[in-house]
């Protein structure tokens, strides 16, 4: 590692429109990051709008149409984001009543929304039904009953998918793997509960089963996980048709036409570090679509429409978080070993992922060129907790000083979304950059905002 490395912006990790100018300052979409800090303060999230939109299109192309892709709102959602997703023609996946309400406030068409969650409230289910949400993904027997009652009350027939737990191990962090048996989501395929759920839905006059859903996990790189899951869920579709076809007035054929959706969830892995490579979504999609078509033919089924729900792969790489370095401290950690602690003005409140999942990130000084020698370093936040670490173990040049602006790339997914107000930090603003201009998407939370919540 040398000074050059520390000045490079690996293009597979940074937003597409990030550049380092001749004076060493980094711009995104033509906007210098130090100017953003001057105007809006730090820390701040900076999102490259064109990058986000372009990733929507790449997903749509890979999976054969924008209406085959649901952007997973949980990764990052505001009304503006919902409008971008709508303008790009994608569908939207929401996982709470408030996510749904944000989407609806942006006038996102309800019929292109899918609703998720393992314990949806009745209010959420009611809003989905009343507003005409396109699909509700069922996750438990109680929910089949609850939603059935809500739909009956509303006098509608609600389209639904049954979420299947296909029983495979996704190779990712335990907390974000969701297809193995011993976790909370979905109906188990192996135990027969997925088939039983399908029967209950098919027998309910106010529910219309339109397909099956599964999600293997998040930040997945092993494409085998996706195709194994697809194979098992499609196998179940075949079983449903042969065992439950008689419940449909059109028999097996009629039911086959109705169960036209195979939703395989999200999980497409991105690169956080220069030495990582993002999953090649186009290749994975082509392989997956071919395998599904071949298996459907074998099972004598019409080829289902494969839907996906990427969140991270769309939002993640579009965004960087800018911080100002406040202190630089050398800490003796062994006989002759020193570790340099670079403290920045945010931390685990704006990015809990390193503390929660051991997620690894990288950073660059974006206010100038650096040319120091690499020293063992740790980038830490400003919270009252020693686990408040953003980058645990890396080398950074030894000329980084207080006042330098540091940016961590690939923070667009699950950082703002999982942010907290620990130590009464207000959440940072989210600044959109596009064609040389910056604008505020979300303003910074102030102490007045926090005090305004207090009832006494």
Q: Are 268 and 281 in contact (CB under 8 A)?
A: yes
* Binding residue numbers for pyridoxal 5'-phosphate: 267, 309-312, 414
Q: Are 64 and 73 in contact (CB under 8 A)?
A: no
Residue 215 touching ligand LLP (CB under 6 A) = yes
Residue 319 touching ligand LLP (CB under 6 A) = no
Write the burial class of residue 275 (CB in 10 Å: 0-12 exposed, 13-18 middle, 19+ buried): exposed
Among this protein's residues, is 384 annotated catalytic? yes
Residue 311 touching ligand LLP (CB under 6 A) = yes
Residue 117 touching ligand LLP (CB under 6 A) = no
CA distance 318 to 313: 9
What mask, x for binding ligand LLP by CB under 6 A, covers residues 122 to 141? --------------------
Among 26, 29, 72, 391, which residue interacts with ligand LLP (rule: CB under 6 A)?
Answer: 72
CA distance 33 to 39: 10
> 């089924």: which residue's tokens?
301
Total residues in contact with ligand LLP, by rule CB under 6 A: 23
Residue 310 touching ligand LLP (CB under 6 A) = yes
27 or 218: CB nearest ligand LLP: 218
Q: Render the burial of 9-21: b for 16+ CB within 10 Å, e for the rest.
A: bbeebbbbbbebe
Instruction: Write out the binding residues for ligand LLP, residues 244-303 only, by CB under 6 A.
Output: 265-268
Residue 165 touching ligand LLP (CB under 6 A) = no
Only one of the segments 36-44, 190-198, 212-220, 273-281 lies at the binding site for ligand LLP (rule: CB under 6 A); that segment is 212-220
Residue 318 touching ligand LLP (CB under 6 A) = no
Instruction: Write out the binding residues for ligand LLP, residues 18-47 only, by CB under 6 A.
Output: none
Residue 364 touching ligand LLP (CB under 6 A) = no
Q: Are 17 and 50 in contact (CB under 8 A)?
A: yes
* Binding residue numbers for substrate: 312, 353, 357, 385, 414
Write the burial class of residue 146 (CB in 10 Å: 0-12 exposed, 13-18 middle, 19+ buried): middle
118 or 303: CB nearest ligand LLP: 118
As measured in angstroms, the least distance from the Cβ of 376 to ligand LLP is 27
Residue 116 touching ligand LLP (CB under 6 A) = yes
Contacting residues toward ligand LLP, per CB under 6 A: 72, 74-75, 93, 116, 176, 215, 218-219, 265-268, 309-313, 353, 357, 413-414, 418
Q: Catalogue the active-site residues.
A: 384
């Amino acid at each position: 590692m040398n000074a050059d490395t520390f000045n490079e912006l690996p293009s597979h990790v940074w937003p597409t429109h990030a550049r380092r100018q001749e004076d060493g300052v980094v711009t995104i979409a033509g906007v210098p990051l130090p100017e953003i800090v001057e105007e809006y303060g730090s820390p701040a999230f900076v999102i490259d709008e064109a990058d986000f939109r372009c990733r929507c299109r790449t997903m749509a192309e890979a999976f054969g149409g924008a209406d085959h892709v649901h952007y997973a709102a949980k990764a990052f959602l505001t009304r503006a984001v919902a409008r971008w997703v709508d303008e790009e023609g994608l569908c939207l996946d929401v996982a709470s009543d408030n996510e749904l309400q944000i989407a609806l406030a942006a006038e996102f068409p309800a019929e292109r929304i899918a609703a998720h969650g393992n314990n949806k409230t009745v209010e959420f289910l009611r809003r989905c039904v009343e507003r005409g949400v396109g699909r509700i993904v069922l996750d438990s027997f109680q929910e089949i009953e609850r939603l059935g009652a809500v739909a009956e009350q509303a006098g509608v027939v609600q389209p639904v998918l049954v979420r299947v737990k296909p029983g495979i191990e996704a190779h990712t962090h335990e907390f974000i793997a969701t297809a193995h048996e011993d976790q909370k989501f979905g109906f188990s395929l192996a135990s027969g509960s997925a088939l039983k759920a399908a029967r209950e839905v098919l027998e309910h006059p106010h529910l219309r089963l339109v397909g099956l859903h599964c999600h293997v996990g998040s930040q997945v790189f092993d494409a085998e996980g996706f195709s194994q899951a697809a194979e098992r869920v499609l196998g179940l579709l075949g079983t449903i048709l042969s065992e439950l076809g008689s419940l449909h007035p059109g028999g097996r054929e009629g039911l086959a036409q109705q169960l036209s959706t195979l939703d395989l969830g999200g999980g497409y892995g991105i690169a956080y570090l220069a030495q990582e490579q993002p999953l090649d979504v186009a290749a994975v999609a082509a392989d997956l679509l071919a395998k599904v078509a071949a298996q459907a033919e074998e099972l004598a089924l019409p080829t289902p429409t494969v839907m996906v729900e990427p969140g991270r792969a769309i939002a993640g790489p579009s965004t960087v978080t800018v911080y100002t370095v406040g202190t630089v401290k050398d800490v003796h950690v062994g006989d002759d070993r020193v570790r340099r602690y670079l403290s920045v003005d945010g931390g685990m409140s704006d990015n809990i992922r390193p503390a929660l999942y051991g997620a690894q990130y990288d950073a660059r000084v974006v206010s100038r060129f650096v040319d120091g020698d690499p020293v063992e370093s740790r980038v830490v936040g400003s919270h009252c907790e020693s686990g408040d670490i953003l980058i645990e173990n890396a080398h950074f040049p030894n000329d980084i000083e207080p006042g330098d602006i540091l940016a961590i790339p690939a923070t667009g997914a699950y950082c703002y979304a999982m942010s907290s107000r620990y130590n009464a930090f207000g959440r940072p603003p989210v600044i959109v950059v596009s064609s040389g201009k910056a604008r505020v998407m979300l303003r910074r939370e102030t102490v007045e905002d926090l005090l305004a919540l207090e009832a006494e």
